[in-house]
Amino acid sequence: MGTTHDFLERCDKLAVMGGTFDPIHYGHLAVAEVVMHKFLPRRVLFIPGGQPPHKPDLTVSDGEHRYRMTMSAVCETPGFDVSRMEIDRNGPSYTVETISALREICPPNAEIFFIIGADALMEILSWESAEKLLTLCQFIAVHRPGYEIEETYVENLRKNYGAVIHVLEGPRLEISGTEIRKNFAEGKPVGGLMPAVAENYARTHGLFSTQGTELSPARFEKVKSQLELRLSPRRFKHTLGTIIEAEKLARHYGADVNKAKWAALLHDCAKEFSADKKHTLCKLWCVPTDEIMLSHIDITHSLLGAESAKRQYFVTDEEILQAISRHTMGHAGMSLLDKIIMLAYFIEP
Ligand SMILES: [Fe+2]
């Protein structure tokens, strides 16, 4: 299992949260936090699964992506960690194998809690080696929308299988991965449902949307209408003029016309952020600044524009981002596209 699980060798109290995490959302995080505070494990370990054995037809995103997206969402929380053990295992992931593997790594007599949704608990007897699993760890049962935890059923598991089951009276967040994936596909917002960092990860890797990050004419028009709302009429008019000039220059000098149009479209997307917002975002987005830039904060709008294009409009093309970042202050060794955007910006009527 390598160095990623070194801490487990000393972990005598562990809570495990399994799931596809496709994507990770506030429902998962809220439950994990309540478990952390109520049960006081040393770690809450998120384990993104491989292909779920009981849902063979379900298409899930690539395991590596789900691992990284989950890591991005939890790594800032003390005590939270993510394990690769299921995604690195080929084939279906059986919980009994995962918990057995953890038992072997953790100290003897370690307390292991497996966090389980009410819906999954009701089906647990159909799981691989269920009877063994029920004695391998303790369970923390969590309410799920539409599923009640039946006390008689839980009592049966306790009495007949020796299971230790804690029912968590905790958050009942009505968030589902299905709903979030649907929102992505339909271009609806998901910001209230999942952490921004995980959303950005999903968008920049086009996880849930076929029209996620590509530089298509349809997405160009969509971003253009977003900017029309967000920019002043004057700034939007300047943007339209810059697109026309950039397109002409790109054709004339043999540059990539589509990239020139995208760079022109977004070159001033951060221009009208307030001075306070520019200062804050320079710090938050780790934009390198110096004294002159900080005392003339408006000139950071080109660097912030490139960050905003990447983080908020999901442009991943490095040439476009560079051209946006250089359009105000220029740079040594500018590319053809850099020069076209800077020139278009100056000459548009
Ligand atoms: Fe500008």
Q: pLDDT tens digits for 132-191?
A: 999 999 999 998 777 778 889 999 999 999 999 999 887 776 788 989 999 888 878 888
Q: Among 11-25, 171-185, 281-295, whose mean pLDDT is lowest?
A: 171-185
CA of 283 to the centre of ligand 1 (A): 20
Task: Quickly state the pLDDT bin for 341 (edges 50, 70, 90).
Answer: very high
How confident is the model over 210-226, as pLDDT tens digits? 656 678 898 899 999 99
How many angstroms separate the alpha carbon of residue 245 from the centre of ligand 1? 14
Distance, CA 276 to ligand 1 centroid (Å)? 18
Q: Is the peptide bond before 23 cis (omega within 30 degrees of 0)?
A: yes
Q: Which two tokens stand for residue 287?
A: 């934009």
Mean pLDDT calculated for residue range 38-49: 95
Cβ-proximal residues to 161 (8 Å cutoff; 6+ apart), any chain: 130, 131, 134, 135
What is the whole-number distance in angstroms between the Cα of residue 135 and the centre of ligand 1? 64
Q: How far, in Å, is the centroid of ligand 1 from the Cα of 268?
A: 5
Report DSSP letters for 191-245, one per residue: TTTS-HHHHHHHHHTT-S-TTSS---HHHHHHHHHHHHHHS-HHHHHHHHHHHHH
> Any idea which fold 2-204 has?
Rossmann fold (3.40.50)
Structure confidence at residue 2 (pLDDT): 46
Looking at residues 48-62, what average pLDDT do you find? 74
**Cα separation of 32 and 98, whole Å?**
19
Q: What percentage of the chain reaches a pLDDT higher than 70?
A: 95
What integer pLDDT is reported at residue 119 of this predicted model? 84
Domain boundaries, the chain: 2-204, 217-347
Backbone φ, ψ for residue 14 (5° rounding): -135, 135
Look at phi and psi of residue 169 and say left if phi exceeds 0, alpha if psi is from -120 to 50, else beta: beta
Q: What mean pLDDT is predicted for residues 226-240? A: 95
- CATH classification of 217-347, choosing from 1.10.600.10, 1.10.3210.10, 2.40.37.10, 1.20.1440.130? 1.10.3210.10
Q: How far is the CA of 327 from the centre of ligand 1 (A)?
A: 6
pLDDT above 70: residue 63: yes
* pLDDT for the residue numbered 246: 96
